[in-house]
C-alpha cells in the first residue's frame, strides 16, 4: 500500500522523493531535445557518409575544376588518378589555385573514381556536370596511334564506291597492318565511327565535302563507312556528286574546287590566256551558290597551290606559282601567302552568307610523305608498313609553313567582328601533326591494278612512280570521319541543350 499511493503515512519520504523524480524527468527531456536539435543541424550541414574534410574537399574540387576549365590547355596530357590511390591531398600551385596534389591541371582530376573499398567516392552534381563537359570538349588532335586488332569497319571489297588509286589491297599491296591503327586523343576516347548514329544525327540534312582530290578521298571514306548499314541512291550530276540515304533523308555531296577561290583562264593584265588566274579575295562562286543546300561543309585545299597559277588581289597581279614572266618586277605574294589568303576569303564568305547557317569544318593540311625528293623528283614512301613511333615525327618545312598559313587564315576569319555568333559555327579540324606520323597509310607504288607495275626500287636505287599524298582505303583517312562525326555531335547536341536553341 505504501508503494501504491503517494499519500503514505511517511509524509517525509513523500516530500523528498516526488520532487526528485520530476526534476530528473524534466532534465532528461530537455537534454534529449537539445541533442535532437543539435544532431539535426549537424546532419543538415554534413550528410551521413561524409566528414567535414570530405565536404570541404568536394566543394573546393568542384570550384577548382569549373575555374580551370575556362582556361583549359588542350596541349597538356592528362595525369589520371588511379582508383587504388588514396584521395588526393589539397595543395597550392604557383597561381594560388587549389589543386589536388600530383595533378597536372584540374582538368586532369578523374572525378567519381572508385575507392579502395570498391565504392564510388563522393561526387557532387556540379562535379559530374563539369566532368561530362570536359570530356565532351576535350582536344581531339593531340594523342597517339595504337594498334587495334578489330581492324577497319569495311574492306576494299565491301565498298563499291572506291577510287582504284586508293584501293591498295585491290592493287596488290602485300601488308595490311596499316588498316588497324586507330587514333587515341590524350584526354578522351575517339569512338569508332557509328554509321547509324551519324545518319540519325544528320537526319534530313546534307553534308558536303568541298575541295580537291583529298576531299574526294575523305568523301569516299565516309561513303564506305555508311554503305555498311545502307545502300544509298545516286542523285548526282556533272556539277556535283550526291548520294541519298532514304532511311534518314541524309545527303552526302561532293563539289570540286581546287583552290576554293574564283578561278578563270581568260587574259588578265600581263597574264595571257593558258594559265589559271586566281582572285584570292573572291570565293568560288559555285560554292556560294550551293551553300543554302548544305547543313555541314568539310573544306579541303592547299595542294593545288603547288601548281601553276597567277595570283590576283584587289584586281592587281601580285604573284604566281611556276609563272612570273617579268623578272624585273618583284612578286608581292608567293604560293604560301596566297594559300593563307584564300582560306580567309572562303571562311569569311561562308560565315557571312545570308542563307547559310550550317557548320563549317576546315580540315587542315593533309601531309604527304615523299622522302628523298618531291612527287616528281624521286620522292618515295615505298616500304612503310606502320606509323612513326611517338616523338619521331620527321620535320617537313613545307608542311609546317602551309599548315601555319592555313591556320592563320582561319583564325583571321574567325576574329572578324562582323561575324558575331556565326564564328561559333566555324571549326578547325587540325589533323596535320597526327597524320604526319602515318607515312604508312599512302598507296605508294600500289596505285594501279596493273600486275606488271613496278613496286620496288630499281638497280640504280630509283623508286617506282607512286602516290604518297592520298590515303589507302580502308586506312588512316577513316579517322577524319570519326572526327567529323564527333564535331557534328558536339555541335548538334550542344545546340539542343542550349537555353537559346
Which secondary structure element, helix H or strand E, spans residue 66, and what is its range?
helix 52-69
Torsion angles phi and psi, residue 167, rounded to 5: -85, 75
Alpha helices (runs of H) in 301-373, residue ranges in sequence order: 335-352
Q: How many residues does the chain have?
A: 501
Cell numbers for 303, please give them. 595542294
366 catalytic? Reply is no
Cell numbers for 84, please give them. 587504388
Q: Distance (Å, rounded) from C-alpha 194 to C-alpha 192?
A: 6
Give the alpha-carbon dihedral of 147, 153, 157, 160, to 10 degrees: -130
User: Judging by DSSP bridges, how do beta strands 143-147 and 181-185 pair with one another?
Assistant: antiparallel
Cell numbers for 372, please give them. 628523298
Q: Distance (Å, rounded) from C-alpha 250 to C-alpha 273?
A: 42
Q: Distance (Å, rounded) from C-alpha 202 to C-alpha 481?
A: 14
With beta carbons less than 8 A apart as the criterion, state whether 362 and 428 touch: yes
Q: Distance (Å, rounded) from C-alpha 79 to C-alpha 177?
A: 30
DSSP bridge pairs for 181: 147
Q: Which of the following is catalytic: 213, 411, 416, 448?
A: 213
**CA atoms in the 13 A half-sphere facing the CB of 177:** 12
303 catalytic? Reply is no
User: Judging by DSSP bridges, how do beta strands 98-100 and 90-92 pair with one another?
Assistant: antiparallel
Q: Which of the following is catalytic: 303, 369, 403, 470?
A: 470
Q: Distance (Å, rounded) from C-alpha 414 to C-alpha 409?
A: 9
Q: Distance (Å, rounded) from C-alpha 456 to C-alpha 459?
A: 10
467 catalytic? Reply is yes
Q: Which positions are annotated as active-site residues?
A: 213, 467, 470
Amino acid at each position: 500500500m505504501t508503494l501504491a499511493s503517494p499519500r503514505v503515512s511517511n509524509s517525509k519520504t513523500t516530500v523528498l522523493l516526488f520532487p526528485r523524480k520530476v526534476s530528473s524527468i524534466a532534465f532528461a527531456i530537455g537534454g534529449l531535445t537539445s541533442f535532437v536539435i543539435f544532431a539535426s543541424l549537424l546532419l543538415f550541414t554534413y550528410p551521413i557518409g561524409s566528414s567535414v574534410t570530405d565536404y570541404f574537399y568536394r566543394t573546393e574540387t568542384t570550384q577548382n575544376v569549373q575555374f580551370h576549365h575556362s582556361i583549359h590547355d588542350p596541349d597538356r596530357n592528362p595525369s589520371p588518378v588511379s582508383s587504388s590511390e588514396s584521395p588526393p591531398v589539397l595543395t597550392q600551385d604557383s597561381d594560388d589555385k587549389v589543386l589536388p596534389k600530383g595533378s597536372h591541371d584540374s582538368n586532369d582530376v578523374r572525378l567519381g573514381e572508385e575507392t579502395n573499398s570498391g565504392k564510388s567516392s563522393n561526387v557532387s552534381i556540379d562535379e559530374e556536370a563539369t566532368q561530362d563537359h570536359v570530356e565532351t570538349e576535350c582536344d581531339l588532335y593531340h594523342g597517339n596511334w595504337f594498334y587495334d586488332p578489330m581492324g577497319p569497319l569495311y574492306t576494299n571489297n565491301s565498298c563499291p564506291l572506291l577510287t582504284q588509286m586508293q584501293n591498295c589491297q585491290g592493287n596488290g599491296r602485300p601488308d595490311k597492318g596499316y588498316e588497324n591503327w586507330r587514333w587515341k586523343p590524350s584526354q578522351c576516347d575517339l569512338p569508332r565511327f557509328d554509321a547509324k548514329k551519324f545518319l540519325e544525327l544528320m537526319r534530313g540534312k546534307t553534308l558536303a565535302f568541298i575541295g580537291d582530290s583529298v576531299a574526294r578521298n575523305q568523301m569516299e571514306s565516309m561513303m564506305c563507312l555508311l554503305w555498311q548499314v545502307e545502300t544509298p541512291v545516286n542523285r548526282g550530276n556533272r556539277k556535283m556528286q550526291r548520294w541519298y540515304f532514304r532511311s534518314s533523308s541524309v545527303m552526302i555531296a561532293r563539289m570540286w574546287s581546287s583552290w576554293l577561290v574564283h578561278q578563270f583562264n581568260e587574259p588578265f593584265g600581263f597574264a595571257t590566256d593558258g594559265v589559271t588566274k586566281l582572285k584570292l579575295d573572291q570565293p568560288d562562286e559555285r560554292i556560294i551558290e550551293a551553300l543554302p543546300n548544305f547543313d555541314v561543309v568539310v573544306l579541303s585545299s592547299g595542294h593545288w597551290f603547288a601548281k601553276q597559277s597567277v595570283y590576283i588581289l584587289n584586281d592587281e597581279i601580285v604573284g604566281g606559282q611556276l609563272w612570273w614572266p617579268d623578272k624585273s618586277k618583284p612578286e608581292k605574294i608567293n604560293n604560301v601567302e596566297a594559300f593563307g589568303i584564300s582560306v580567309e576569303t572562303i571562311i569569311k564568305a561562308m560565315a557571312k552568307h545570308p542563307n547559310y547557317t550550317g557548320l563549317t569544318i576546315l580540315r587542315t593540311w593533309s601531309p604527304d610523305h615523299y622522302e628523298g625528293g618531291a612527287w616528281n623528283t624521286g620522292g618515295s614512301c615505298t616500304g612503310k608498313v606502320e606509323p612513326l613511333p611517338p616523338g619521331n615525327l620527321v620535320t617537313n618545312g613545307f608542311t609546317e609553313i602551309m599548315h601555319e598559313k592555313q591556320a592563320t587564315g582561319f583564325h583571321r576569319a574567325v576574329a572578324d567582328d562582323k561575324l558575331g555568333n556565326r564564328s561559333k559555327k566555324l571549326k578547325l579540324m587540325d589533323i596535320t601533326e597526327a597524320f604526319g606520323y602515318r607515312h604508312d597509310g599512302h598507296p605508294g607504288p600500289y596505285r594501279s591494278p596493273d600486275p606488271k607495275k613496278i613496286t620496288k626500287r630499281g638497280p640504280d636505287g630509283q623508286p617506282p612512280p607512286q602516290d604518297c599524298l592520298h590515303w589507302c582505303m580502308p586506312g588512316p583517312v577513316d579517322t577524319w570521319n570519326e572526327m567529323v562525326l564527333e564535331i557534328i555531335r558536339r555541335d548538334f547536341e550542344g545546340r539542343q541543350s542550349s537555353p537559346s536553341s
